Amino acid sequence: MQQFSSFISCANFAIILALTTCSQLAVVVVSGHEYLREKPSFLQQCHLHDQINGKCLANVFENLFTEWRNGVPGLKGLSSLDPFHVKRVRLSQQTPGLADIKAELTNMVAHGMSGTRVLKTAVNDKDYTIEFKLHTPSVRAEGDYQVNGRILILNLNSVGKMSSTVENLEYRISCKANLKKIDGQYFFDLISATSRIDKIGNFKIHFTNLFSGNRELENSAHELFNTNWREIFEIMRPAFGQTINTIVLNRYKKILSYVPANYFLDDLP
């Protein structure tokens, strides 16, 4: 379940991630600010002041999932969208009577994010709030875990490998931004991010070495997790949300400071 946050994190900022053909694009540094100099041909410019710009923007960002899936050229420190890599995620949650748990996930790799569809997108022309509604059909994630504490009736204190699959995930992301102009180019400077999960179709998870190799206890725990996954998710929802928000803000801030806002919207400010 902790991994659930890592793939969602991916899903959340997946909207502007990853590029395939570095040779088509150029990077320039002006006044100390490095940015993408040429607009990719697949990026259709939409209209900020059009009240029905949502469909246009949804098409633009959905194209990025396939066209920009392997990493943004010239922008260091960001991995590909699919597979999506997360070095470390820490979770902590206390819910009286249900959970008191701390976990750390490392070396996480998620597959399936490039299948994400943008259901709705909008940019507020007054405060530049950027909102997305997305659907990801299926994501499988794998990595290392360390967990300590209690959830439901289980006391956990173990280290090992984990894998999970999430199906039919619908979620929303809302990012607040300032608009900055640098050498004739506009950029969105993100200042906050919030996320909300609307629907989940199914969730399965598996841990190795959960009870020091006791297969009977492991099988019972996995049956509990996978039978009661909705309840477990609700317990961990606050921790998932905070983790998602932190990762989304970090990733989006870097990408939107690199890709000019003019490439998405042709009537700024």
pLDDT tens string 196-250: 888 889 988 899 998 887 889 899 999 988 898 888 878 777 777 777 777 777 7
* pTM reported for the whole predicted model: 0.74
Cβ atoms of 11 and 169 within 8 Å: the answer is: yes
Under DSSP, the state recorded for 65 is H
Task: State pLDDT tens for residues 91-150.
Answer: 888 888 888 989 898 998 888 877 888 888 888 888 888 888 989 899 898 999 999 999
**Residue 213 Rama label (left phi>0; alpha psi -120 to 50; beta):** left
Cis peptide before 83 (omega within 30 of 0): yes
Phi, psi of 153 (to 5 degrees): -100, 5
Rounded to a whole number of angstroms, the distance between the first and last alpha carbons of the chain is 42
Q: State how far the Cα of 194 lies from the Cα of 177, in Å rounded to an integer.
A: 12
Q: State how far the Cα of 121 lies from the Cα of 168, in Å rounded to an integer.
A: 19
